[in-house]
Amino acid sequence: MVPSSFAVLNPQTQTTEALFGQPDVPVKVGISAGSIVIAGQRFSGEQIIILPDKPYIFNLDGDDYRGKLKLILNPDGNSFDIINVVPPEPYLAGVVGAEMPDYWEPAALAAQAIAARTYCLYIKEKFGSNRTWDVKRTAANQVYLGVSAESAQVWDAVNKTQGQVLVYKQDNNIEALFPAYYSSTCGGHTENSRQVFGDSFGSLVGVPCPYCKRVAKPSFFFWPMAQFDKTNVTDRLLKRYPKLKQLGDITSIRPDKQSKYGKFSRLTLVKLLGSTGKSDFLRAEDLRLTIDPTGRKFRSTICQIVSMGDKWAFVSGRGYGHGVGMCQCGAQAMARQGKTTEQILFYYYPGSKITRVY
Ligand SMILES: [Zn+2]
């Protein structure tokens, strides 16, 4: 549904193929005999763009988004991909308000805006040219909820940092964007990206974080035991990593590498032993998100693994999320202490600097 009139364009020829003048009327978009059909009208192209008139908002399945909607017919002729084509700033407003409570300190919200802008432009630059889209709207990249995530505070954070991104100096002395990862609550120490995602950037190294404990509630900072049926764990792991099939049933999950931070440590690599006697290794973060894709129970890899009968239990857990880059609760705690956006970002992304790219 579009609250204004809208046009349907062919992106290849840039021609207007149809105009729809009636606002606020639900429009059914589907496929019939291999063609995209909008409100009963067939379009021959493999791609079409729905372009709303002012205020450039459309509603998809109940949620409002800004910008345009691109539909791309898949080769099977039976389905299509939907891509929201949106400029960076309105996109970021829909991310910042989804990733951080809008009542948090303005300095923390601005840090979030710069980190999210950096992350999205890096991903777009690195992967976007080989595919029809730049970033996913889920936590697989960063959460984007469109207009529903926006507020005056969120727009303020996005506008006052307009075009600002983080860069770091590569070995060849050239400054470059990097994937400015961030996560909810690091649990007391952030982690080197290499141990979690396997990539390596000078500004994505671990730093102590005495801050998040001051913002996250104790029941949140320390998470309760998470248990999973062993058969379920084996099923999920073998489905996600077919190379593990040679292990048979997973009979043992042992810490192999960890980052030690004094009183606690983060598992980074685990050794899996199987009923066939074979073994293999897996990054602890991959283990976590395979066993619990939402990450809501198995919240971080700062924990211990215990075998309890027919279940695996993850105990003594701290923090929430992968722990790489900015700790969001830590950013809020720093902002409450009066630290600036720059101080927050340079703390969590050591050696980085802020530059304006547009
Ligand atoms: Zn932290």
The mean pLDDT value of the chain amounts to 96
pLDDT computed for residue 13 by the predictor:
86
Contact 303, 278 (CB under 8 A): no
CA angle, 182 then 196 then 357, to 5°: 40
* pLDDT recorded at residue 275: 96
Report how far ligand 1's centroid is from the alpha carbon of 149 (Å). Answer: 24
Determine which of 212-216, 217-221, 330-334, 346-350 has the lowest per-residue pLDDT on average: 217-221
Residue 192 alpha carbon to ligand 1 centre in Å: 13
Write the CB contacts of 342 (distance below 8 Å, at least 6 apart in sequence).
Answer: 354
In the chain, the amino acid numbered 185 is T
Read off the pLDDT of residues 24-67 as tens digits, 9 standing for 90 and up: 999 999 999 999 999 999 998 899 999 999 999 999 999 999 99
Ligand 1 centroid to residue 88 C-alpha, Å: 27
Run of H or E including 166: strand 164-169
Q: How far apart are CA 194 and CA 174, in angstroms?
A: 21
Residue 323 Cα to ligand 1 middle (Å): 8
CA of residue 337 to ligand 1 center, whole Å: 15
| Ligand 1 centroid from CA 209, angstroms | 5
Summarize pLDDT for 280-308 with one digit per residue, the tens. Answer: 999 999 999 999 999 999 999 999 999 99
Q: Which two tokens stand for residue 83?
A: 């891509």
The CA distance from 214 to 224, in Å, is: 19
User: Residue 295 C-alpha to ligand 1 middle, in angstroms?
Assistant: 17
pLDDT in tens, 249-280: 999 999 999 999 999 999 999 999 999 999 99
Q: How far is the CA of 330 from the centre of ligand 1 (A)?
A: 5
In angstroms, what is the span from residue 320 Cα to ligand 1's centroid? 9
Distance 213 CA to ligand 1 centre (A): 7
Sheet containing strand 164-169, edge to edge, reads 175-176, 164-169, 353-356
Tokens encoding 322: 């992968």
| Closest to 101 (Cα-Cα) out of 350, 347, 353, 335 | 335
What tokens were used for 321? 């999320």
- Distance, CA 260 to ligand 1 centroid (Å)? 15
Q: Are strands 175-176 and 68-73 parallel, antiparallel or unpaired?
A: unpaired
* 12 has pLDDT over 90: no
CA of 74 to the centre of ligand 1 (A): 42
State the amino acid at position 37 in one-letter form.
V
**Least confident segment among 11-20, 151-160, 194-203:** 11-20
pLDDT bin (cut points 50, 70, 90) of residue 193 is: very high
Asked whether residue 72 carries a pLDDT value surpassing 90, the answer given is: yes
Q: Which of 85, 73, 59, 63 is nearest to 1 (CA)?
A: 59
pLDDT digits (tens, 9 = 90+) for 316-343: 999 999 999 999 999 999 999 999 999 9
- Per-residue pLDDT at 199: 93
Q: What is the 327 CA–ligand 1 centroid distance (Å)?
A: 5
State what percent of residues in the chain have pLDDT above 70: 100
Please give the pLDDT value at position 220: 86
Residue whose structure tokens are 């909810």: 184
Above 90 in pLDDT, residue 222? yes
Mean pLDDT of 180-185: 98
SS3 285: helix
How far is the C-alpha of 135 from the C-alpha of 301, rounded, in Å? 25
C-alpha of residue 207 to centroid of ligand 1, in Å: 9
Range of lowest pLDDT (96-100, 126-130, 160-164): 126-130
pLDDT at 244 over 90: yes
Distance 300 CA to ligand 1 centre (A): 12
Which DSSP symbol is given to 245? Answer: G
Distance (Å) from CA 161 to ligand 1 centroid: 23
Ligand 1 center to residue 6 CA distance, Å?
46
Distance 302 CA to ligand 1 centre (A): 12
What separation in Å is there between the alpha carbon of 204 and the centre of ligand 1?
14
Cβ neighbour number for residue 234 with a 10 Å cutoff: 20
What is the CA(292)–ligand 1 centre distance, in A?
22
Q: Mean pLDDT throughout 234-261?
A: 97
C-alpha 121, offset from chain centre = 13
Distance from Cα 82 to the centre of ligand 1, integer Å = 36
Q: What count of other Cβ atoms lies within 10 Å of the Cβ of residue 230? A: 17
Instruction: Tell whether the model's pLDDT for residue 219 goes beyond 90.
Output: no
- Ligand 1 centroid to Cα of residue 208, in Å, is 8
**What's the pLDDT band for 132 if we cut at 50, 70, 90?**
very high
